[in-house]
Chains A and B, each alone.
Chain A
């Protein structure tokens, strides 16, 4: 199921979050969206799942317009927000059962399978979520997203706050989804190495617009060739956009290179 955004604009008060963003994500691909804070990644995701409406432009999942058919689209989309949370008094199993009930999924052992897929300990699943670590909450969130075997997975900063082991585990899970299903996986990250490892293609977002789409190798080559200066404060050009991403990811701060 492909995902398309065409000339999407969104402003909040005086802040332009998305400024004519256009993007096409092929069906079955694992697609990374790179960008610094405020680039528009989370806004794009919120619009894609119908949490908000664009001021202008169109968003479509599987050819269906999100603004008109958000409710229908969410039956086939698993979305993990950046800040995932659950009522602390519920157990992990109750959270998953709630998701299964709302989605109308049959009781066919899929809760246990989802728990197994994300590596959550079976004993932990029957404990109250209030006692979970951040990593366990992220895993539970991922399990809720995987529960219906969605056609599209949208993951907003899925590794934020995870320790290296948790990040590794997440990479393994996405790898398995790639191998075992034909789901389209879209996730955003600050980390260049992460998207390079997991994604077929990457888009670089900067100031609410897409500055580049391609493989990481292609984008790095294009950034190196971009004549626009990348000094701090420059807000135009792929080189500047990519420079900001690389700097945010902790790589050397000046040159755009790997």
Chain B
């Protein structure tokens, strides 16, 4: 009665399959069904994350922030202290977005995983027939929709003011800025999700996110400039220095389209590195994908 060293009952033929048969009408085992299931899972998580971000006023706050700062730059263009002309305004917007968009993305994403774990939601969701990677991907995409929407709407208002002020002659430069701003936000959001997967507590994730922002936005380019000033470096090294920082990629991508006159400092130095728009766009895309892929790998090892 009290001896438990051996299994007491035999394994049934395949009761799991028997139970599965009850659900067969709305479930399949084919590859196509598996793909549909992955899409369904990712979409369900993304929709929930989007809903939560909207209810948490994140969408409203970010849109308001981007609208306010963008409009201020355009408005100042009418005064003696502000930039004049579409290209200079886009250059000013780029400088602003280099600081603001990464910060907003990191703030939006730092608690993506660790925050849900603290709520107890992660343990609930991971008990469902959903792969952990699907949850990470859905979380990223749901928050990305919020960030991208806020970027397009917020800075889009600035674009509207630009068109009203200067017409559509240089509209392309602004569109490039807008797309790149969405992409750099996506890159930093991906980094935030990765940090959230690594951190054990929300405060740790927040601290790591701030460190990442300081490094990429404030320190990296200063150090790079110092290295460039001190040594004669081949173009390849300069290119690596750029693609190693998504904020630099964003800045170079937008400003190089405006001509070097619009940029300065690091961007002016990089004018001859041979980094094409396609390479820069590919680098930004890699910054969006690689951290999420790494987060998907790491979340499997996370102990709940």
Contact = CB atoms under 8 A, between A and B. Distances in A.
Interface residues of B, number: 44
Given A2-B12, A71-B131, A89 B52 contact: yes
Interface in A2-45: 2, 4, 6, 12, 22-24, 26-27
Interface residues of A, number: 60
Contacts of A63: 11-16
Given A46-B304, A60-B11, A84-B124, A1 B19 contact: yes
A64 interface: yes
Interface of A: 1-2, 4, 6, 12, 22-24, 26-27, 46, 49, 51-52, 60-64, 71-79, 81, 83-90, 94, 98-99, 101-106, 141, 144, 148, 151, 203, 210-214, 218-219, 222, 238
B123 A84 contact: yes
Given A81-B120, A85-B119, A75 B23 contact: yes
Given A62-B12, A101-B40, A102-B40, A85 B120 contact: yes
Interface string B38-60: 00110010001001100110000
Given A72-B129, A75-B23, A105-B26, A87 B116 contact: yes
Given A74-B129, A87-B48, 7 more contacts: A2-B9, A22-B4, A27-B15, A62-B12, A81-B120, A87-B116, A104-B27
A89 B56 contact: yes
B15 A1 contact: yes
Contacts of A52: 303-304
Contact of B44 (A85, A98, A214, A219): A98
Contacts of A211: 2
A103 B20 CA distance: 12
B26 A75 contact: no
Interface of B: 1-9, 11-16, 19-20, 23, 26-27, 37, 40-41, 44, 48, 51-52, 55-56, 116, 119-121, 123-131, 303-304
A151 B2 CA distance: 26
B128 A86 contact: no
Nearest to A183: B19
Which of A49, A63, A71, A203 lies at the interface centre, i.e. has the most chain B CB atoms within 10 A of its CB?
A63
Contact of A6 (B7, B19, B48, B121): B7
A72 B15 contact: no
7 contacts: A1-B19, A71-B131, A75-B23, A81-B304, A85-B121, A102-B40, A213-B8
Contacts of A98: 44, 48
A26 B8 contact: yes
B304 A4 contact: no
Nearest to A12: B303
B296 to A, nearest CB: 14
Contacts of B14: 62-64
B35 to A, nearest CB: 13
Nearest to B29: A72
